[in-house]
Structure 1
């Protein structure tokens, strides 16, 4: 015991007498590691080191270090080549959209569709498909009832990927149907995040594996309840059934997503069911994550090709994360905003944009475009919500309408532009979704889908409070104090 005390005192004395120099070395380390990151992020960590000398370096290791890899994911060479060749062919042909899509309705100018589609092709090799049926879900009960029905009818394969997966009532119900599918000879793969799967019991993990379900964990925890990798979480919510039916959106798996949690109340979210060749891109996205997470050989994956659909809706999946060179989803959003003529509607639980996103909305406002942003009234994060209020207050001063959803918790991630484009997926409007986490969103080119999403948005307005300039003046004192402070941490929120 005396030896332990002596060692502790020696270390403490050394740190106390040399903390200034040690802290300087650590600050220089942060500057070096962050040399390719936005300066505001590096400056924020320098501020943390100034307020918390030496100690501040430990949260930086957890939250701030950039371990971006340009070749993080690999898939089977033939599949990768097919995607690349298909995107190159489409890019050459997009100048004459009617020849590609004979039944394309005149719901947007060809230039608008072509510009956005070409951008996504170049950024992300996002192939555009035109034979899809799309169903919109805004209620968890309806979404999971439809999903389970599709699972029960699956014949060949089921791929399931959720950030959060709990073995509560909903999770157990979903697992039961996946186990039954595996028993019928269907290949079932479940991929979930190392933090988000902490709520699956060991018994359920064992039951799934014994039934033949293949289970993968993305960045698993060293200990079950402790995961030191706070960044680079896989936030995607994807399902693909028989390579023909796909789901993408904001719902995770847990009872709260059915509105059964007293803290949050009704859960307002948005998800898409897409039947058609758009499922191919979502399948490829899944297997890229699957082989990285499991460490298995991608050569084991059979060749996959798009399954032709019978619909006529154009869809294009965009994904981004630490494995992409650019912030693909954010850039696609900004392009959509720049092309708006009349109205932009945004659903987001967190609104902590960078300056480029905020400026894109400001330009739209100055050009006479109506901008509506809806945020929740129930904070689920003590730092994020005050920061959201700070950024929404700033854009409200430029003319945006800010609505606070009062009918439960708003978790929906939707961008609606005029009658032309809409985006639904897993990405929030914050730095974490734009660059730190793995996200996937679907862009839908459809007046019909836009009208349905906007109709739901307008119904939500009836259940919301417009945050007027008077409201901002009388905002609760705690938020007046916390908002400018929490805003400083925007680069990691």
Structure 2
């Protein structure tokens, strides 16, 4: 046999062995739905070279051993999550909502705590103005974390406020995702903040992409939006540190977000979440932040932080969404820009409508991700058949991530209803029970709904065959996207 023939057979054997190894790995990987296993096996079997490379890059939600070790060390050093914000106020919550808070507690250990107050900011500009005002009024410390932080009008207002605060002698710590905020991190503005004494950190640094792949997925990102000032005020919502015009994707503008300002014990939970990220990334010890006594109890509602991501239970966010859908009795309203559900999410949403709950979900008409838009629309027919009302917002890119239940309970934060938020991104949300604040959120949702025409079954049936095929093909590949 010629040497070339031997090499050819050897190459085929190695090729088949690698293909077999990665198929077995896809089948044995924990925390994966059967549909996801099937999709990966199909990709690897039909396109072996591309499939194996794709699996190495995107097949597993792996934060990396070193990152996980640092995150675990930070959590071990910090006080237990259940002790940072006072005792549980579970008894003040309507009985049927208690189970939702108990599920939330199982994610990070944060208790549902009472005595909280919140203001829903009118729009993106008002949110930035409020953050800047609170930074300017700060007396001790300022902590900010954003996924996307742009050097535009809003982004630079926060930069300047941090520089002013640091110049006054306050301890200022600012963290931004290394991919989402790469332009700012590599700009003169970042350098100027450092020169003025602001402590800075780039979250989930990519570095050399080829070396990064040796220790975890490159596309696992810190998607959180957290501001904590003086251990007394925190912000939570969908808004990045940027103008609504959102220059990096201006053709989809305005980006329509929701941001809320909170006071009360829940602030300490957001501080704890920030501290875990900061300590894992920088090694700086922030445990002293939690030695200060809690302020005297005040009247207010019950709230709880839910932070998902690497090192947190795999099913944290989808379980939270499902729990809220399942507890609804009269009305369920959801706004989200990205909907690529797993099977339980889709089933819970359909079941909500089928049992008589007025169920509405609002998406943007024009999405900045055509892949996500296609995958979302592949689910429309089933949702509509179950009785879910679907609306598509036409006033820009509706980026708000909100969920209200029966006008009493709210979930607000950074998490989308897609696999990226479920499996890859670090997210932060606040779950709360308060009819007054929920009514404010519900009124904002109504504003979105009024600018979002209803999508009917006839509309979906009228889509062209190529469009339907594309939507369904994209959705079929959803588990590997």
Per the normalisation by structure 2, the TM-score is 0.89
1:165 aligned partner: 149
**Deviation of residue 478 (structure 1)?**
5.0
Paired residue for 2:132, among 148, 151, 168? 148
Structure 1 SS opposite 2:110 = coil
- Pairing partner for 1:241 from 229, 236, 258: 229
Structure 2 partner of 1:461? 449
Structure 2 residue 193 is matched with structure 1 residue 211: no
What secondary structure sits across from 1:196 in the alignment?
coil
> Which residue is equivalent to 2:171?
187
Aligned counterparts, 1:52-201, within 5 A: 52-67=47-62, 72-75=71-74, 79-81=78-80, 83-85=81-83, 90=88, 94=90, 97-98=91-92, 110-137=94-121, 139-200=123-184, 201=186
* Aligned twin of 2:422: 434
Q: Count matched residues.
A: 469
Distance 2:453 2:470 in 1: 21
The aligned residue for residue 36 of structure 2 is 41
The range that moved more, 401-410 or 469-478, is 469-478
Q: What SS does the aligned partner of 2:306 have? A: strand
* Residue 31 (str. 1) matches residue 20 (str. 2): no
Whole-angstrom CA distance in 2 between matches of 1:136 and 1:89: 26
Contact 2:337–2:398 (Cα < 8 Å) also in 1: yes
Residue of structure 1 in register with 2:3 after alignment: none
Matched position secondary structure for 1:324: coil
Confirm or deny: 8 A CA contact 1:49 1:57 kept in the other structure.
yes
Deviation (angstroms), 1:375: 0.4
User: What is the aligned partner in structure 2 of residue 253 from structure 1?
Assistant: 241
Indicate whether 1:325 and 2:325 are aligned.
no
Q: Secondary structure at the match of 1:248?
A: strand
| 1:86–1:127 contact (8 Å) kept in structure 2 | no
Q: Is residue 280–residue 305 contact of structure 1 (8 Å, CA) maintained in 2?
A: no
- How well do the aligned residues superpose, as a CA RMSD in angstroms? 2.8
TM value normalised by structure 1: 0.87
| 1:267-306 paired onto structure 2 within 5 Å | 267-297=255-285, 303-306=291-294
Is this contact kept in 1: 2:246–2:253, CA < 8 A?
no
Superposed CA deviations along residues 307-357 of structure 1, whole A, max 9, x for unmatched, are 457551221111112211242232222112111111100001011111111
In 1, distance between residues paired with 2:172 and 2:83?
Answer: 29
1:173 Cα deviation (Å)? 2.1
Q: Distance in 2 between matches of 1:389 and 1:215?
A: 40
354-363 vs 72-81, greater mean Cα deviation: 72-81
Can you give the 5+ residue segments of structure 2 that lack an aligned partner in the other structure? 1-5
